[in-house]
């Protein structure tokens, strides 16, 4: 039985004393204890060694006491397992020597056996659950099929993912075939994660906001909906689409337990676009954590007042940046814990 | 007297036979005749030589017959003139060896004499007007103060402009002082451009969508509003804010003659958020020009039907990409010229 249930209660829409708080990428580079491990072990070693992944997952909880942990991992473990061999290239990041740009390329992609290819993630979950000792729930995550396709077809990160979009717009049949394979793999993967012990799953659609509303329906949303349909009976599902304000209404009817929003939408509009019916998560601009702690506390309190303390999970509007001072992170977390509803 | 008045009529909100069409970055890298000049002359030479800038401006009109020309130039000519010496660094793009990150740095920045520092732009305008021979109107442009600050404080392009935002959020007084200097310079600059012959001005807020709605008001919009107030009696003003859907309502009351929208908003929402009162410009996803010409034509026709033919200027939702096939550009332009309202 998990002791701190705030996060799970908010996901069910129950009334709470204060909203729960966690931060996207909270297990990461702003933490000195993470940087120590980063100096010793490369990216793939950190992801693939259950002891390291579990330790990194627990680090922020130990220091700041967030209300949920999120498993340290990467969205690109999925294509790796699908026979799409990403490398980490210095000064570039994830890099694919032969990007996927034809039906022939898609035909080489497999829907893998999860235990065989991603057993290390499942081990990391079991170990993390032991280390967390039921203090707080554990979130497992996956990228959206569209976001995974972006990297696979572009071959690396990009400001516009023009090559990935060109692939979709010139070879839609091949693109949909790849998206379906990623979707099938993601469903198997998230189900195994839940079996291994994660309490909640989050789908990150980091690049959904690069698409027009119509193209979003065709190339991103319909696959996310498949994942929600397959997972929602197993665990609460959170969907976060960066820049996807235009899809919020549809998301609110999807069966997801919560919808993440980025910082370009006001709390009032986020509530309005989701018809006040679903738990929302977000949305402080991550760069606002550079502000002095006093400003951060004021902004967090205002944010909770505007979203309302119920059906709400405090978070950033995207991942925490490196180089954020620890005192500022503490101000962000503490402001939530000290929150008092205005009389 | 300009012969093709479609664009100016749409800016006035008059009823038209069909909407006018032009493309952001239409004088650019998808054109073989541009690439020939690019091979011979570097970036600054192209911007600073009136004969070259004028020739490049006219190239797309000659080939495709858009309903407006836009002067070939760059938003960074403004900081250059303000004593902020950008360089062009291979594989990086615009680069500032010493980014502006303190009040002391801001104190070094000047509001220049436009004729002395940017006379080459004014010469290019006069020459272009002669070459256009009153066939179509000429647009002059500037970056928004916020967008210019992004480059000045970051020192180069960026996915998040985290250093620029950190500058604003930790040293707001210095940031506002820089924004005001850029605003003052931009107003002087655009007034001189109108005097030299441009018929319309457009303000590009390329990075406004990186800000929360509250921060957008504080760091971007209030300066754009100053520019509109100062210019609107001199020439029609178009404001384009990429990712700035959340500010559309305020923009519609600003005195701007048209508001540009990117492709992440439906025509219906764009009309709704602007209360149906202002001319809109946009918004096909630039990567959609990779689609086959037949698909492009269908999409353009649908787009016009949805925006409505009046109070509307057909454009892309951001600049045209390099490597777009010429036949696809032709399909985009022709679809507008052949447009017939549905019975």
Q: Which is nearest to B165 in space by CA: A192, A284, A59, A196?
A: A284
DSSP B49-80: -HHHHHHHHHHHHHHH--S-EE----TTHHHH
What part of A 51-70 touches B (C-beta under 8 Å)?
A: none
Residue of B154, B159, B169 for testing the chain A interface, max A β-carbons within 10 Å: B169
- State the Cα–Cα distance between residues B30 and A138, nearest whole angstrom: 49
Å from B166 to nearest chain A CA? 6
> What is the phi/psi pair of residue B118, to 5°?
-125, 25
Asked if B169 lies within 8 A of A287 by C-beta distance, the reply is: yes
B338 conformational bin, left if phi > 0, alpha if psi -120 to 50, beta if neither? alpha
Name the band, by pLDDT with cuts 50, 70 and 90, for residue A237: very high
Give the pLDDT score at B92.
86
B163 interface with A at CB cutoff 8 Å:
no
Q: What average pLDDT does range B333-341 have in this prediction?
A: 97
Rounded-to-integer distance, Cα B176 and Cα B145, Å? 10
Cβ pair A191, A230 in contact under 8 A = yes
pLDDT at B198: 98
Share the mean pLDDT of chain A. Answer: 97
Could you tell me the two tokens for B55?
């020739």
Alpha-carbon gap, residue B10 to B26, rounded angstroms: 19
Residue B80 · residue B86 · CB < 8 Å:
yes
A320 with A59: CB under 8 angstroms? Answer: no
Instruction: Give the chain B residue whose CA is nearest to the CA of A210.
Output: B264
The predicted-structure confidence for B179-224, as pLDDT tens digits, reads as follows: 999 999 999 999 999 999 999 999 999 999 999 999 999 999 999 9
Q: Is A90 exposed, middle or buried (CB count within 10 Å of its CB: 0-12, 13-18, 19+)? A: exposed
The complex scores an ipTM of: 0.95
- State the average pLDDT over residues B16-32: 97
CB A156, CB A94: distance < 8 Å: yes
Contacts of B317 (CB under 8 A, 6+ apart): A212, B261, B262, B263, B264, B282, B283, B284, B285, B286
- Best A169, A206, A221, A303 residue to mutate vs chain B (most B CBs within 10 Å): A169
Place of tokens 């010139």: A170
Task: Give the tens place of pLDDT for each residue, B222-252.
Answer: 999 999 999 999 999 999 999 999 999 999 9
- From CA B221, how far away is CA B323, in angstroms rounded? 34
Long-range contacts, B217-224 (Cβ 8 Å, 24+) = B217/B247, B217/B250, B219/B146, B219/B149, B219/B168, B219/B175, B219/B179, B220/B144, B220/B145, B220/B146, B220/B147, B221/B247, B221/B250, B223/B144, B223/B145, B223/B146, B223/B179, B223/B180, B223/B182, B223/B183, B224/B144, B224/B145, B224/B146, B224/B254
Q: Mean per-residue pLDDT for B83-105?
A: 93
Q: How confident is the model at residue A92 (pLDDT cuts 50, 70, 90)?
A: confident
Q: What is the mean pLDDT of residues B173-183?
A: 98
Interchain pair A169, B291: CB under 8 A: yes
Longest pairwise C-alpha distance within chain A: 64
Please say whether the dihedral angle defined by the alpha carbons of residues A307, A311, A314 and A315, taken in this order, is positive or negative: negative
Indicate the pTM of the whole model: 0.97
Residues whose CB falls within 8 Å of the CB of residue A236, separated by 6 or more in sequence, listed in order: A8, A11, A12, A199, A200, A201, A257, A258
Residue that is written with structure tokens 């007042």 in the block = A305
Counted across chains A and B, CB pairs separated by less than 8 A come out at: 80
On whether the CB atoms of residues A166 and A216 are closer than 8 A, the answer is: no
Among A285, A303, A319, A322, the strongest candidate for a mutation testing the B interface, having the largest count of B CBs within 10 A, is A285
Q: DSSP state, B26?
A: -
Q: Which residues contact A71 (CB under 8 A, 6 or more apart)?
A: A53, A57, A121, A124, A125, A128, A138, A139, A140, A141, A193, A198
Mutate to test the interface with A, among B263, B287, B316 (most CBs of A within 10 A): B287
Residue-wise over B272-309: b if at least 16 C-beta within 10 A, else e?
ebbeeebbbbbbbbbbbbbbebebbbebbbebbeebeb
Query: CA A333 to CA B194: how far, in whole Å?
Result: 52
Instruction: Give the mean model confidence (pLDDT) for residues B42-69.
Output: 97
Query: What is residue B343's predicted lDDT score, i.e. its pLDDT?
Result: 83
Query: How far is residue A179's CA from residue A220's CA, in Å, rounded to a whole number?
Result: 8
Mean predicted lDDT score pLDDT of chain B: 97
Measure CA A187 to chain center.
Answer: 15
Nearest-CA neighbor of A229 among A190, A271, A265, A193? A190
Taking the Cβ of residue B263 and every Cβ of chain A, the question of whether any pair is shorter than 8 Å is answered with yes
The DSSP element (H or E) to which B313 belongs, if any, is: strand B312-316
pLDDT at B90: 84
How do residues A62-79 score in pLDDT, each as one tens digit? 999 999 999 999 999 999
Nearest to B333 by CA among B6, B34, B13, B97: B6
| Closest-CA distance of chain A to residue B294, Å | 12
Which parts of chain B fold into alpha helices (H)? 6-12, 32-40, 43-48, 50-64, 77-81, 103-107, 114-132, 145-154, 162-170, 172-196, 213-216, 222-231, 248-252, 267-273, 293-307, 326-337
Asked if B263 lies within 8 A of A290 by C-beta distance, the reply is no
Q: Flag whether pLDDT at B91 surpasses 90.
A: no
B325 close contact with A: CB closer than 8 A:
no
pLDDT digits (tens, 9 = 90+) for A27-52: 999 999 999 999 999 998 999 999 99
> What is the pLDDT, as a whole number, of residue B236?
98
Judging contacts by C-beta atoms under 8 Å, the chain A residues touching residue B291 are 169-170
* Alpha-carbon Rg for chain A in angstroms: 19
Contact indicator for B112, B142 with CB cutoff of 8 Å: no
Measured between alpha carbons, how far is B87 from B300 in angstroms, rounded to an integer? 38
Instruction: Read off the pLDDT of residues B264-287 as tens digits, 9 standing for 90 and up.
Output: 999 999 999 999 999 999 999 999
Rounded CA separation A137/A128 (Å): 10
Quick check: A32 contacting B, CB < 8 Å? no
The domains located in chain A, with CATH, are 6-337 (3.20.20.210)
Question: What are the pLDDT digits (tens) for B317-335?
Answer: 999 999 999 999 999 999 9
Q: Is there a contact between A269 and B246 if contact means CB atoms under 8 Å apart?
A: yes
Whether residue B264 lies within 8 A of chain A, CB to CB, comes out as yes
Q: Is B245 helix (H, G, I), strand (E, B) or coil?
A: helix
Buried b (16+ CB within 10 A) or exposed e, B72-108: bbbbbbbbbbbebebeeeeeeebebeebbbeeebbee
Q: What is the mean pLDDT of residues A188-195?
A: 98
DSSP B121-148: HHHHHHHHHHHHTTSS-EEEEEE-HHHH
- Residue in the structure block whose two tokens are 């999860």: A114
Tokens found for residue A235:
């665990």
CA distance A91 to B318: 27
* E strands in chain A: 69-70, 87-89, 93-95, 138-143, 200-205, 237-241, 258-260, 279-284, 312-316
Report pLDDT digits (tens) over A248-307: 999 999 999 999 999 999 999 999 999 999 999 999 999 999 999 999 999 999 999 999
Range list of β-strands (E), A267-322: 279-284, 312-316
Closest CA to A182 of A88, A79, A265: A79
pLDDT of A285? 98
Place of tokens 């701007």: B256
Residue B243 forms contact with A (CB below 8 Å) = yes
**Distance between A262 CA and the closest CA of chain B, angstroms:** 9
Please report residues of B whose CB lies closer than 8 A to that of A287: 160, 162, 165-166, 169
B322 touches chain A (CB under 8 A): no
Q: Is the pLDDT of residue A203 over 90?
A: yes
Q: What pLDDT was estimated at residue A91?
A: 83
Least Cα distance to B228 among B219, B220, B237 occurs for B237
Nearest to B166 among A209, A212, A287 (CB): A287
**Residue A160 at interface with chain B, using a CB cutoff of 8 Å:** yes
d(CA B59, CA A58): 60
CB spacing of B170 vs A285 below 8 angstroms: no
> Hey, are the CB atoms on A165 and B246 less than 8 Å from each other?
no
């Amino acid at each position: 039985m998990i002791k701190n249930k705030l996060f799970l209660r908010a996901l069910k829409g129950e009334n709470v004393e204060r909203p729960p708080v966690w931060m996207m990428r909270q297990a990461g580079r702003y933490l000195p204890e993470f940087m120590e491990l980063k100096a010793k072990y490369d990216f793939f070693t950190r992801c693939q060694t259950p002891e390291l992944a579990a330790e990194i997952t627990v680090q922020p909880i130990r220091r700041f006491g967030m209300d949920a942990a999120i498993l340290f991992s990467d969205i690109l473990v999925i294509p790796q397992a699908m026979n799409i061999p990403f490398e980490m290239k210095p000064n570039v990041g994830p890099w694919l020597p032969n990007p996927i740009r034809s039906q022939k390329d898609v035909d080489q992609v497999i829907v893998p056996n999860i235990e065989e290819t991603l057993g290390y993630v499942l081990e990391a979950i079991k170990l993390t659950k032991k280390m967390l000792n039921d203090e707080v729930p554990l979130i497992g995550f996956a990228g959206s099929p569209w976001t995974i396709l972006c990297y696979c077809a572009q071959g690396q990160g990009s400001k516009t993912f023009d090559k990935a979009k060109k692939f979709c717009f010139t070879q839609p049949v091949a693109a949909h075939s790849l998206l379906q394979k990623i979707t099938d793999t993601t469903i198997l993967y998230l189900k195994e994660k839940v079996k291994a012990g994660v309490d909640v799953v989050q789908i990150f659609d980091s690049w959904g906001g690069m698409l027009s509303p119509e193209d979003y329906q065709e190339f991103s949303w319909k696959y996310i909906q498949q994942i929600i349909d397959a997972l929602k009976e197993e665990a609460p599902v959170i969907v976060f689409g960066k820049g996807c304000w235009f899809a919020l209404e549809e998301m609110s009817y999807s069966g997801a337990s919560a919808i993440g929003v980025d910082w370009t939408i006001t709390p009032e509009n986020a509530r309005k676009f989701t018809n006040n019916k679903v738990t929302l998560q977000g949305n402080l601009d991550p760069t606002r954590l550079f502000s002095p702690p006093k400003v951060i506390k004021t902004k967090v309190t205002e944010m909770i007042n505007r979203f309302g303390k119920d059906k709400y999970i405090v978070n950033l509007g995207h991942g925490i940046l490196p180089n954020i001072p620890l005192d500022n992170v503490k101000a962000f977390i503490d402001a939530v814990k000290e929150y008092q509803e205005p009389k």
